[in-house]
Amino acid sequence: MSIEQENTKARIDIPVKNIKIEKPNPVEQYKPRDQIYVRKVTGFFQQLRQKMNFFFLALFALLPWLTYNGNQAILLDIANQRFTLWGLTLWPQDLTLLAWLFILSAFLLFFVTTFLGRVWCGYLCPQTVWTFIFIWFEEKIEGSANQRKKLDAQKMDFNKFWRKALKHFCWLMFALLTSLTFVGYFAPVEHVFLDFFTFNSSFAMAAVIWFFAFCTYGNAGWMREIMCLHMCPYARFQSAMFDKDTLTVSYDYKRGENRGARSRKQDHKAMGLGDCIDCNLCVQVCPTGIDIRNGLQYECINCGACVDACDGVMERMKYPKGLIRYTTEHELEGKKVHLIRSKLIGYAVVLIIMSSMLVWEISNRVPVSLDIIRDRTELAKENFNGEIENVYTLKILNKSQTDNTYRLSVKGLENYTWHGDQEVMVKASSVYTLPMSISVDPYELKGYMTDIEFIIELVSDEDEVSLTHESRFFNKR
């Protein structure tokens, strides 16, 4: 028998089946987020958060209504390119101050994040503040977390309809008030409210108000944790500022495991259990719906809700508090904690330097600006007296909030004649345009071009304000 025949006999017939692979429906692959029903919790950190939220919310609502010297104290008038901050008026020429302020804010955020983690998100972020306010409306109208869950599961009836309608109405009204107040920082707040409620607002103003109102309604009412998890850039780069000595909300794994249910009278140590009774309250009170027992997660906003919930359970079980607490990775590992460290000192030094430079910039800011525009038709001309004359347009910007009188002069020319006003009164926070010219005997000029300086001085017995601006005086060829 040949080798080929032997191989043929040795073959085993394997039945072939046609397997049909069903591709899943693309729509079914997407799983919408589960609704998070945040459970109410009380405790030290929640009281602290509520008081801070109330303080800054009141500050946000009241600041546009404050006045200073008869004007709105804070007005960021973008239309007129003028920013008023109490006694300080900033113009586009003062954008360096704004740059210093942004740099200072960035390093302050770095410093706080390195030291206390993501506390900005948990205690001060407007998204968090407004989300908790909207949740408060939910609790008052629809009930507790379990009641809200049952209400959403049941069919639409009159009870469900009026509760949902009232909740969304309250959300919209609060969002509208928020939007009106916010727009009041960029336009006179009295006119914003009066024109809106009397239907006298312009189309652009009304569109802006409703746009911000619906943004607030959508962000705090519907999107909530989506903003924190997927849209906020701070959640993505915060870990770059963390180290093993950063205070964050953490679960003490060594103390808590093994977790499991037990009665208060049982000796859980003898049962081989840790202090965690696996009640899941830390998950139920979390506004982003995470389980802090899984370790540090970028979704955690450091609000401390799980800390208060766990401390309450530990107190009822007569266990030591702090199973979930603000702590550091080094402390959880039993190592020495370094609260004062090189990175923190570096941020603090930069903060001090930046703050000093900002204060120096503000204190040395001259409250007047002078722009010089030459006549564009001809650089120089000869007038009827035989003198060489140059024509200028001076734009005097009074950056202060008081009406001031200024005196103008020129340095660099001998025996010149000033044609126009040399003393002008400029109203507060306004620009004065002064057309003028200077004429000189041609024998006083040494060349085709002479460097000169315009000098503007404040006419006052109290303040000595002086500013110079370079320019050129041209001779005829």
Q: Is the pLDDT of residue 311 over 70?
A: yes
Rounded CA-CA distance 421/432 in Å is 12
User: What does the radius of gyration of the chain's CA atoms come to, in whole angstroms?
Assistant: 35
Q: Strands of 82-85's sheet, edge to edge?
A: 74-77, 82-85, 88-90
* pLDDT digit string, tens, across residues 69-82: 888 999 998 888 88
Least confident of 185-194, 205-214, 336-345: 336-345
Q: Phi first, then psi: give them for residue 42, nearest 5 degrees.
A: -120, 155
Percent of the residues in the chain that have a pLDDT greater than 70, as a whole number? 92
> Is the Cβ–Cβ distance between 317 and 264 less than 8 Å?
yes
Give the per-residue SS3 of 397-461. EECCCCCEEEEEEEECCCCCEEECCCEEEECCCEEEEEEEEEEECHHHCCCCEEEEEEEEEECCC
Average pLDDT over residues 204-231: 92
Strands 67-68 and 71-72 come out as antiparallel
* Residue 134: band (very low, low, confident or very high) from pLDDT cuts 50, 70, 90: very high
69 Cβ contact list (under 8 Å, min separation 6): 87, 401, 402
Per-residue pLDDT at 25: 54
pLDDT of residue 146: 92
What is the predicted pLDDT for the residue at 6?
Answer: 53
DSSP element (H, E) containing 391: strand 388-398
Rounded to an integer, the average pLDDT of 246-258 is 92
Residue 104 and residue 358: Cα distance in Å, rounded? 9
Residue 192 has pLDDT above 90, yes or no: yes
pTM of the model: 0.79
- Give me the residue spans of the domains in the chain: 243-332, 368-474
Q: Is the pLDDT of residue 476 over 90?
A: no
pLDDT at 313: 94
Model confidence over 382-426: pLDDT tens digits? 998 899 999 999 999 998 878 899 999 999 998 899 999 999 999
pLDDT at 27 over 70: no
Is pLDDT at 9 greater than 60 in this prediction? no
Please check the confidence at residue 3 and state whether its pLDDT lies above 80.
no
Residues 418 and 392 sit within 8 Å (Cβ to Cβ): no
Confidence (pLDDT) at 28:
47
First to last CA, the chain: 120
Is the per-residue pLDDT at 444 higher than 90?
Answer: no
Least confident stretch, 83-92, 142-151, 218-227, 260-269:
83-92
The answer to whether 396 touches 93, Cβ cutoff 8 Å, is: no
Residue 22 has a pLDDT of 52
What's the pLDDT at 93? 76
List Cβ neighbours of 247 (8 Å cut-off, separation of 6 or more).
115, 116, 117, 326, 327, 328
Per DSSP (E only), the strands in 3-73 are 67-68, 71-72
Residue with tokens 């958060």: 49
> Mean per-residue pLDDT for 21-46?
71
Taking the domain 368-474, which CATH number applies? Answer: 2.60.40.10
User: How many C-beta atoms lie closer than 10 Å to residue 226's C-beta?
Assistant: 13
Q: What is the pLDDT of residue 29?
A: 47
Q: Whole-number mean pLDDT of the chain?
A: 88
Q: Which residues are registered as beta bridge partners of 85?
A: 74, 88
194 vs 459 pLDDT, higher one: 194
Rounded alpha-carbon distances, angstroms, from residue 276 to 6, 235, 249, 258, 260: 69, 28, 16, 7, 7
- What is the pLDDT averaged over residues 257-265? 90
pLDDT of res. 13: 55
Task: Return the H-helix or E-strand segment holding 76.
Answer: strand 74-77
In whole angstroms, what separates CA 335 from the centre of its chain? 36
- Closest by CA to 83, choosing from 101, 60, 107, is 101
Out of 131-145, 229-243, 319-333, pick the least confident.
229-243
With contact defined as beta carbons under 8 Å apart, do 444 and 422 qualify?
Answer: no
pLDDT average, residue stretch 97-124: 88
